[in-house]
Structure 1
Amino acid sequence: MRQRIVRLILVTLYMMLFTLPAFAADTNFGQRVSGMAEVTGVRVSTEANKTRIVIDANKEVTYKAMSLGEPDRLVVDIPNAWISPKLKKEFPVNSRFVGKARVAQFNPQTVRIVVESKVGKQNHKVFSLKGGPVAGRVVLDIGDLSGDSSGTKIDLPKTKPTPAPSTKPTTKPTKPSTKPSQKPESKPETKPQDDVDGELAGITGLRGRKITIDPGHGGSDSGAIGPTGVMEKSVTLRVAQELKRLLVAEGATVYMTRDTDTEVSPKGADASDIEELQARCDIPNQNGSDIFVSIHMDSFTNGAAKGTTGYYYSLGSKRSRDLADKIRAGVIDQLGTQSRGTQSSNFYVVKHTDMPATLVEVAFISNPSEERLMNSEAGIKKAAQGIADGIADFFG
């Protein structure tokens, strides 16, 4: 009997020991969000002259709006807020005014909404509403607003709403708060210490993510060469540099396997193929990158071959396939290239990296029209934006 009592006491102590951390985490989460607004819904509706996006919260909120270019995006930050776990994070709109919208926990205190605009940086209006069935609402109107006013039609109470304070100071385009100040060699931002904070700190966004970009070929290795002499190594570097700019602007820490027209291995042109490829893998493996993206241009003897392909290691994780698929889709969405699918491969750089990895063949440099596209500034920017969109979707 005495032994049974002792065993019961030991089991009780054991259970208390291993449930206290979880209890503490729940308590910490409750304390963290107790004074914050919960973003509970995003509603989208399109009229003849505009698309309206309404952000619902369980209490009154403030906001800060800014416009970003290339491509045109409307960014709205809601401070002192957190996202309901039930809320869908991405909203394909596909109206003639808006491409898509996504919402993310930008940092532990800020919810960010990003809307891709098809009508230019100035053709939008942002304002808050008080009263009605929802305690806090922020409204984003995008479209032809020349004859519009804040007396809007969607989801408003029948009574005239209280006029919202002027938002001119906040809707004036400003520089984004995540200006590209990080450098590859700098230390990444410290991640939250527990799982609960990690959820809140931006698991749906790019802020704090570590990403390695690998521009294919370089130095003595030109890669494929197009009909007019455009070299693969030059196109991949230009796309990678623009992609780095986009990702850093969104708060990511970016590492490049090369920043110039050079080999990656310390042996330079004397390195074997394996030594050069391993040097590219060593960079993300050593810096603990979250993902690895290798950028290439495809080539074939038949100049009619065209399109975009995503590759992942055949025996790798499902996350690598997901990354490859999303980046391929993002590039196709931006460039309008033909989809050649997401395929398994045994490429060295996706096989010998320790994180989700993909090699994307953006387009065929051997195809005259795709060579011309990828040698243009517009093509470079669209390709980079497509890869960035795919990365954002992967983390979203």
Structure 2
Amino acid sequence: MNIRFSMIIVLAMMIVFVSIPAEAQAEEIKLVIDSQNVESKLLIVDGRSLVSAQILKEKFGEKLVWKKGRKELQVNSGYWRASFQVGSRIAEVNSSILPLESRIRLINDDVMIPLRFLTKMYGGELEWDGSTKTIYYYSNRVSDISTKSSVNSSQVVINTDYQVKYELNLYHRPQRLVLDLYNVSLAEVKSKVEVNNNIIRQIRVSQFKLNPAVVRVVVDINQMSNYQIKRNSLGLVLKINQDTQVVTSSIISRKPKLKKPKLKLRTKKIVIDPGHGGFDPGAIGPSGVQEKTVNYQIAKSVNKLLKQAGFRTKMTRRSDKFYSLAKRANQANRWSADLFVSIHSNSNSKPWINGTATYAHWYASKSNWALAWYVQSELVERIKLESNGLKAANFAVLRETNMPAILVETAFLSNPREERLLNSDDFQQKAAAGIVAGIKKYFAKED
């Protein structure tokens, strides 16, 4: 009786734990790329999806060369070259090594590559629908870049298949806007677009990185006063404005003529937000300087200088306490502040990275970008550090506030030299003076 029972248990375990052949699994799985069913062979091996490399040619138009003697497949794209060695778990892409999730296989004279390789080269997303046993791949590509111009503004229109995450920076000497589009690749787009109007000189486009895929769009500027970026149904629209009252070929060396304010400064209410606090120290420098302390010292000086200039001010924290980002934004909203200025110190895993940057939200208004512009230029002029330009981000304190809001990264606490500066009273006073000078110029211009 016990023997029969044991045999039943063993048989049951064999039924449960026997592995299903990869080919049997593949028969039940479909692949859909950009809403089109794909006939290319698809296998599941050790839980990893492999697809025929022919898909690179059939779907994306790449050139394939099979080196039979070496059992190597070479792929030639307009923006990258790759080689796949049968049996290897790496690919060589543009002379660099790219680790793969599974080995390259040769099945019935068909080279099978990891399906996820597509996302590394072309961006986009993979999705699994268990109900229909279908893998969906949505590639995301920049399909077109065009410009529209009027007397005082120019627009750069960037068409993508789907919405993209991006980062926009302003650089000087020469002046240019650099837009990085993440998890996206280039279709057949010109690498250079000559514009040559009074605002834009040219636009340069490149597949800046692979794995992950990043497209970089560089707009070389002749002259501008401010800019803003917005999403539309086709992708992104970067609008660059020219103000004849502002000379902007170098915001550091050339100062705009400003109108005197019509309103008393005392009517303006400004919230100063020292980043981090309490149990949240923020970044910590090589010698142990904590960001929360530096932020607070600079913010106190900003608060004092603004009060002396006649502004009404509030600080989101007046001691070493932690406050949530939502609470900080709500303080400003409830008070109906005119401006929100968050003060931070930057950090990077690479200790040589340095410089100063000012952030505004992705959807910030023209007025908001003007605030960032003036604060960044005045701050850099006083502290004499590298300008990393204006940047767009989705930080909560920028997103949730109802008034123009900026986040200032004064310097890199992770950089030993800048850590020493950030910890000095002299630098803190100069940084505060630069921020306040930028705020004053903003109101002088806006009023």
Q: Per residue, is there more strand in 1 or in 2?
A: 2
What is the TM-score normalised by the length of structure 2?
0.42
Q: Which has the larger radius of gyration?
A: 2
Pick the structure with more helix per residue: 1
Give the TM-score, by structure 1 length: 0.47
